[in-house]
C-alpha cells in the first residue's frame, strides 16, 4: 500500500510539472519543432549522468532498445502536436484537449494489451465529448486548428503511455527515458532539413530568455517529470495514469490565468466544457472502486 501511495505522489508531482510545461511552451518564442528539438537535446544530455554515460545500455537487448526508440518517436510527435496546439491556440486550450487522452485510452488500451473492455471507462471517456463540443463551439475560429492538433496530441499520449506500461519493468526509468527522448531527438534531426527548407523565417538559436525557459522545461518539466511518471507506472494502470494527467488542465489553466492572463481570451462556455471533463476525471476512482467491490462480492457468492 505504501508503494502505491508513493507512486501516486510521484505521479501528481509529475502532473503539476506537466501543467507548467504548457506555460513555458507559450512563453518560448521558438516554433514547435525547434522547441521540442532543444527540449529533448537538453533532456537527453542530462540523462547521460544517470545512466553511467551509456553503460547501462549494454544490459538491454537490441530488440528492446528498438521498441523504446519507437515509443520515443511517438513521444516526439506528441510533443510536436502539443506545442503546435499552444502556438495555434493557447496554453489553456492545449491543456484541456489533453483531457481527451482518457477517451482514447479507454478504447486503445484493451485493443493493444488484449485486456477486457471496461464499460464504465468507455462511458467516462464519452462524457468528455460534450465538454469538448462546448469548448470548440465557444472558441474563436482562429483557434480551431489548435484544438484539432491538441486532440491529436492526446491520442498520441494515450498510445505511448500504454506501450510504456507494457515495457516498464524491462529496464530502469532513467535508461528508458534516455532511449525514448534520445530517439525522439534523432527523429527530429531527420525532420529539421525539411522544416528549414519549407520555412523561410525559421529560427534555430533560442534567445537568452528562451534558453532559460528551455532549461527549466527540459531539466525540471521533462527529466524529473518523466522519471517520476515512469516510476509510478510500475504500480498504477495506464488508464489511471492518464486520468491523473487530466488534472494537468487545472494546474495549467490556473497558471495561465495568473501568468498569461488567458482568462480574458476565453468564454464561460469554455469553462463549462472544462467542468464536464473534470467531473469525468474525478468520477473515475469512485466508479472503479464501486464496480471492483461488486465483482469481488459476486466471486465470493
Mean pLDDT, to the nearest integer, of 254-271?
A: 76
> What confidence tier does 174 reach under pLDDT thresholds 50, 70, 90?
confident
- Of the listed ranges 23-27, 91-95, 212-216, the least confidently predicted one is 91-95
- CB proximity list for 201: less than 8 A, separation 6 or greater: none
Instruction: Quote the CA–CA distance of 297 and 300 in Å, as a whole number.
Output: 5
The pLDDT value recorded for residue 285 is 63
pLDDT of residue 40: 92
Calculate mean pLDDT across residues 24-32: 92
**Residues 211-246: tens digit of each pLDDT:** 999 999 999 988 888 778 877 877 877 667 766 766
What mean pLDDT comes out for the span 25-45?
93
Residue 284 confidence (pLDDT) above 70: no
Give yes or no for a contact between 288 and 127, defined as CB atoms under 8 angstroms apart. no
Lowest mean pLDDT among 17-21, 49-53, 166-170, 199-203: 49-53
Where residue 88 falls (left for φ over 0; alpha for ψ -120 to 50; beta otherwise) is alpha
Integer-rounded Cα Rg, in Å, for the chain is 19
Q: Report the share of the chain in percent with pLDDT over 70.
A: 90
Per-residue pLDDT band for 195 (boundaries 50, 70, 90) equals very high
Sort 92 into a burial class: Cβ within 10 Å, 0-12 / 13-18 / 19+. buried
- Residue 207, pLDDT score: 93
Q: Cell for 247?
A: 488534472
Rounded-to-integer distance, Cα 300 and Cα 62, Å: 46
275-296 burial by CB neighbour count: b if 16+ within 10 A, else e?
A: ebbbebbeebeeebeeeeeeee
Residue 301 is predicted with a pLDDT of 57
Q: Which domain holds residue 232?
A: 2-300
Take residue 280 and report the three cell numbers written for it: 469525468
Total number of domains in the chain = 1
For residue 87, give the nearest of 39, 128, 29 by alpha carbon. Answer: 29
pTM for the structure as a whole: 0.82
Q: Do the Cβ atoms of 131 and 274 come closer than 8 Å?
A: yes
Please spell the DSSP secondary structure of 178-227, one letter per residue.
HHHHHHHHHHHHHHHHHHHHH-TT---SPPHHHHHHHHIIIIIIIIIHHH
pLDDT of residue 38: 96
Amino acid at each position: 500500500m505504501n508503494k502505491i501511495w508513493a507512486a501516486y505522489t510521484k505521479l501528481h508531482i509529475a502532473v503539476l510539472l506537466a501543467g507548467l510545461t504548457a506555460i513555458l511552451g507559450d512563453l518560448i518564442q521558438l516554433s514547435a519543432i525547434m522547441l521540442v528539438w532543444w527540449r529533448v537535446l537538453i533532456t537527453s544530455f542530462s540523462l547521460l549522468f544517470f545512466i553511467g554515460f551509456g553503460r547501462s545500455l549494454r544490459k538491454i537487448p537490441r530488440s528492446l532498445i528498438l521498441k523504446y526508440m519507437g515509443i520515443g518517436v511517438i513521444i516526439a510527435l506528441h510533443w510536436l502536436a502539443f506545442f503546435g496546439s499552444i502556438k495555434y491556440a493557447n496554453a489553456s486550450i492545449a491543456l484541456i484537449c489533453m483531457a481527451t487522452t482518457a477517451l482514447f485510452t479507454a478504447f486503445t488500451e484493451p485493443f493493444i494489451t488484449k485486456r477486457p473492455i471496461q464499460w464504465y471507462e468507455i462511458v467516462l471517456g464519452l462524457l468528455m465529448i460534450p465538454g469538448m463540443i462546448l469548448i470548440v463551439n465557444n472558441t474563436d475560429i482562429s483557434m480551431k486548428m489548435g484544438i484539432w492538433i491538441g486532440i491529436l496530441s492526446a491520442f498520441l499520449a494515450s498510445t505511448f503511455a500504454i506501450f510504456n506500461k507494457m515495457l516498464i519493468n524491462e529496464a530502469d526509468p532513467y535508461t528508458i527515458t534516455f532511449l525514448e527522448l534520445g530517439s525522439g531527438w534523432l527523429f527530429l534531426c531527420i525532420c529539421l532539413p525539411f522544416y528549414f527548407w519549407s520555412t523561410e523565417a525559421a529560427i534555430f538559436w533560442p534567445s537568452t530568455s528562451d534558453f532559460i525557459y528551455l532549461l527549466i522545461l527540459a531539466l525540471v518539466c521533462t527529466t524529473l517529470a518523466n522519471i517520476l511518471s515512469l516510476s509510478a507506472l510500475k504500480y498504477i494502470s495506464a488508464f489511471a495514469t492518464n486520468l491523473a494527467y487530466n488534472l494537468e488542465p487545472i494546474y495549467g489553466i490556473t497558471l495561465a490565468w495568473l501568468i498569461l492572463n488567458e482568462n480574458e481570451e476565453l468564454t464561460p462556455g469554455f469553462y463549462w466544457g472544462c467542468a464536464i471533463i473534470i467531473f469525468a476525471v474525478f468520477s473515475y476512482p469512485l466508479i472503479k472502486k464501486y464496480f471492483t467491490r461488486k465483482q469481488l462480492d459476486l466471486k465470493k457468492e
